[in-house]
């Protein structure tokens, strides 16, 4: 735990420590929040009818571009 005014010795901290967070639940919550935010931003762009949006997916074969577009972009 960090204490105000005290130095933190990073060598004493394990990079593997996960703070007892359920990673699957955290990922789900993060995705839901991002989807909500993307939906809000998309609505603003549509309502203003002034600006466009270009999203570029760059990656080697089998890096997940297609599934990301299918599952995260097309539903909007």
d(CA 58, CA 48): 28
* Res 18 pLDDT > 80: no
Record the pTM: 0.51
Which pLDDT score, from 0 to 100, does residue 75 have?
A: 66
* Res 47 pLDDT > 80: yes
User: Stretch 48-71: mean pLDDT, rounded?
Assistant: 83
d(CA 16, CA 22): 14
User: Stretch 33-39: mean pLDDT, rounded?
Assistant: 88
Which pLDDT score, from 0 to 100, does residue 76 have?
A: 59
Evaluate the CA torsion angle 59, 62, 64, 67 in order and state its sign.
Answer: positive
């Amino acid at each position: 735990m960090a204490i105000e005014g005290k130095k933190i010795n990073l060598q004493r901290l394990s990079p593997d420590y996960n703070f007892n967070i359920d990673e699957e639940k955290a990922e789900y919550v993060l995705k839901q929040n991002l989807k909500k935010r993307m939906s809000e931003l998309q609505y603003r762009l549509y309502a203003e009818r002034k600006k466009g949006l270009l999203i570029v997916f760059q990656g080697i074969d089998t890096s997940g571009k297609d599934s990301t577009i299918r599952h995260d972009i097309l539903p909007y």
